[in-house]
Structure 1
Amino acid sequence: MERVSPEEMECSKNSKDSAEKLVLFNPPFRKDYELQKLRPSFPPFHTSSGFNPQGAVSKFLDQDLRTPALDKIYSHLWLAGLPKAARPVHRQILLGRTIIITENPNEHLVWNATRIFIKPIPEYLLSRDFWTTEGNALIQDRPLYQSACGFLLSYCWLICTKSDLAIAQDVRLVSSSITWEAWALFVTDLLTNIDPDTLDTVSKRYHFGELRLSRLNLIYRFAPGMFSGQNFMRGFMLEPLWTTAFLERNFAWLFSVFGFVTIVAGSMQVGLGTDSLHGSGKFQSASVGFTVASLIGAIASVLLVGIVWGFLTVYHVLRAKENLKIVRKRRIDRQNSRDSV
């Protein structure tokens, strides 16, 4: 029997591992069913400090598909959503929700009151050639691959009927060139590679469907390990700080309490005008106590609103000044480095 050297055994093992990896990260649909054949074009990579024209496609894919803000709180996501598929878009409309376009994958399928945020499907994900050429990071990076598969699965949830596809095309979620027949074949082929029951090939974020924004904000502010000054102020998704929006969002319950107090106080006043209750010492004591408590509560509530509003205003002013200093310093440093070259 021919003896195999340790080097050959190691080489054989590496080849086997590579083959298994290639099979594991195959694009989740066959070329016959791809919905986009054109080569996509990418804008300059966008960062918090501006644009980088030389940004790699892999960085763009990270920004466009990964959900780090949700992965960070995966253990708490059960508080914000159910571990089940999101509703199709026609059901979203029936629920009175307006579809709001977002390009942030962290905000995809997040809802609040009468809105739901949905990220349009990137056309490059529908091209098998892209997966194996410019976008080869999709088949080489397991977390990125799972994010891409999860995002495609979310559209299997959203578009289940012809009416869903028509609505999605009307609000620019998918290309108007996609026909229902082509979409049905694509989804059928996709679901043979992405098991919607085990979800073992999608990122953990897509173990849940729709996520409630108010709950995500609470998780970011108060969940163990998440508390920080920035998380407490901003929550998961920063919302307007305009006076009207702020009061409606955080202190609407006060108006309900004031309405209840007004009704009770009015009833007590009517009771004091009757013969049977006018002479009741207990009822008069209760009326006096309730009146005093109501006045104190009203004054305290107004002061609370003013203090919170003032604190938030000062916080954002200080943050704006700090950010201005950082940005100016970064621009000066870049200018100096450019001049030195």
Structure 2
Amino acid sequence: MASDLTKAPQPCQVLDPGKATLTPPFPEDVQLVSAAPILPVLVRSNGDSNRTHSAHIRYIDPMHNPFVFVEHELSVRRLDLVASHMWIAGIPRNIRPLHRQLSLRRTIMITERIDLHLLWGRGEIHLKPIPSFLLNHASFCELVSNGTNIQSSYLTASAIDFLHSYCKLIVYESDLAIAQSHKLLPKGVDYAQWTAFARCITKAAQSNKSAPRWVFGELRLSRINFLYRFLPSMSGRYLLRGYTWDVNHYSTFLQANFRWVLTMFLFLSVVLNAFQVALATDLGRDTQGFPEVAWRFSVFCQLVIAALIVVVLFALTIAMVVNALTAWRRRHPTHI
């Protein structure tokens, strides 16, 4: 890690004018991790979604497939698929500092999936810790910016945008302390080192061509799930599971997806009770047409409740069948 922060930093750039290769957005003298990063042994692949259509669970070996691993760590293409409708789920460039997240009573949930980074809901916000290979100049060159193809350009741009999101999350020293207490950033980094690093990232981000996802900041997870379920472009492939599937029990599945049924039931109950009270009075009974309206509405409520029960049972049956078929396809162990 650079210890001498008094000397003038090297220019921060994304492209080296003298070469055709991509270069890191920060110079070596402001890198936050000086030692070569240690990569995981095995990483479970997310695939293109949380769908369980794949017959087998796949793992990535970062030592033998480093570029596949880096793509897994930095690709946000799943969110790019709904970029044109993302305004429903969030506001462009809206990322609040960590101290503000806590003041909003949000619990910081650690995730290693970049496609869940900055997604929030139910009093939680998901944040991906910064991988050490993005904080080391040599590793950034070797793993992220190693090449001139479109894929390298995309991953470099995504890495810059991801790091830039932390420039907005970590603004004050209190934010840095929060980040380090949640292991989002190495503990050995002090505020002077972070600001020098963040200054380079911010400068690089100004000329960076962002992926569609990074045009937006914090995103409401429930609305991303809604987009994945009901957008015509998704062709109903994600109707059951949505964008992310975080259900381990069928009771949790019902609570997560059918709370609106309880809301509708309560609303209908209030209206029916109001009709009942009105019909108990002479004015209600003698008003022309009112008893018939009350009767028709009560029949309508019964039909609605019956339909809701059918929908819930149908969805639960589909979930059980899908899980059973997935378990059947994965019944034989495979080599990694």
Partner of 1:273: 280
Q: Confirm whether residue 115 of structure 1 aligns to residue 119 of structure 2.
A: no
Tell me the distance in 2 between the aligned counterparts of 1:146 and 1:51: 23
1:35–1:178 contact (8 Å) kept in structure 2: yes
147, 165, 178: which is aligned to 1:154?
165
In the alignment, the residues of structure 2 paired with residue 18 and residue 164 of structure 1 have an alpha-carbon distance, to the nearest angstrom, of 35
- Once the two structures are TM-superposed, the CA of residue 158 in structure 1 deviates from its matched residue by 0.9
**Per-residue deviation at 1:44?**
2.6
1:240-283 CA-to-partner distances (Å, cap 9, x unmatched) read 15233222222212222222222222222222222222333422
Q: Decide which structure has the larger Cα Rg and report it.
A: 1
Q: 1:85/1:265 Cα in 2 relative to 1: closer, same or farther (>3 Å)?
A: closer
Do the aligned residues in 2 keep the contact of 1:34 with 1:128 (CA within 8 Å)?
A: yes
Q: Which amino acid aligns with 1:218?
A: F
Unaligned runs of 5+ in 1: 1-16, 335-341
Q: With the length of structure 1 as denominator, give the TM-score of the two structures.
A: 0.81
Post-superposition offset of 1:103: 0.6
Partner Cα distance (1:269, 1:74) in 2: 49
Secondary structure in 2 aligned to 1:234?
A: coil
Q: How does 1:42-81 map to 2 (within 5 A)?
A: 42-46=39-43, 47=45, 48-50=57-59, 52=61, 54-81=63-90
2:108 partner amino acid: I
Change (3 A) 1:105 1:260: same
Given that 1:131 and 1:138 are in contact with CA atoms closer than 8 Å, whether structure 2 keeps it comes out as: no
Q: Residue 117 of structure 2 contacts residue 127 of structure 2 at CA under 8 Å; is this kept in 1?
A: yes
Change (3 A) 1:288 1:135: closer
Cα distance, 1:84–1:280 mapped onto 2, change above 3 Å: same
CA gap of 1:143–1:136, structure 2 versus 1, over 3 A, is closer
Give a deviation string over 1:102-134, Cα, whole Å, max 9, x none: 111111111123121110011221111322346
AA partner of residue 204 (structure 1): P
2:203 to 167, 171, 192: 192
Query: Which residue does 1:264 correspond to in 2?
Result: 271
Match of 2:28 among 31, 36, 40: 31
User: Residue 162 of structure 1: CA displacement?
Assistant: 1.3
User: Map of 1:223-302 to 2, 5 A cutoff?
Assistant: 223-229=231-237, 231-240=238-247, 242-302=249-309
Equivalent position to 1:85, from 74, 80, 94: 94
Number of aligned positions between the proteins: 307
Percent of aligned pairs with the same amino acid: 32
> Residues of 2 paired with 1:216 and 1:291: CA distance?
36
The answer to whether the aligner puts 1:175 opposite 2:186 as a matched pair is yes
Q: Which residue of 1 aligns with 2:228?
A: 220
The residue type paired with residue 249 of structure 1 is: A
Superposition deviation, residue 148 in structure 1 = 1.2
Q: Which amino acid aligns with 1:83?
A: P
* CA distance in 2: counterparts of 1:60 and 1:99, whole angstroms: 25
With over 3 angstroms needed to count, the CA separation of the structure-2 counterparts of 1:291 and 1:232, relative to structure 1, is closer
Which consecutive segments of 4 or more residues in structure 1 shift more than 6 A?
none
Measure, in 2, the Cα distance between the counterparts of 1:70 and 1:114: 21
CA–CA separation in structure 2 for the residues paired with 1:53 and 1:263: 58
Task: Kindly state the Cα deviation for residue 53 of structure 1 after the two structures are TM-superposed.
Answer: 6.9
Pairing 1:19–2:18 present: yes
Q: Partners of 1:212 and 1:78 in 2: how far apart?
A: 10
RCO comparison, higher one (Cα < 8 Å, 6+): 2
Show structure 2 runs of 5+ residues with no match.
1-15, 46-56
Determine which of 209, 218, 237 is the counterpart of 2:217: 209
Q: Distance in 2 between matches of 1:316 and 1:262?
A: 35
Displacement after TM superposition at 1:239 (Å): 2.7
Distance 2:301 2:163 in 1: 55
Give the partner amino acid of 1:188. Answer: R
Equivalent-residue separation in structure 2 for 1:302 and 1:56 (angstroms): 49
Contact 2:23 2:145 in 1 (8 A): no
How far apart are 1:153 and its partner, in Å? 0.6
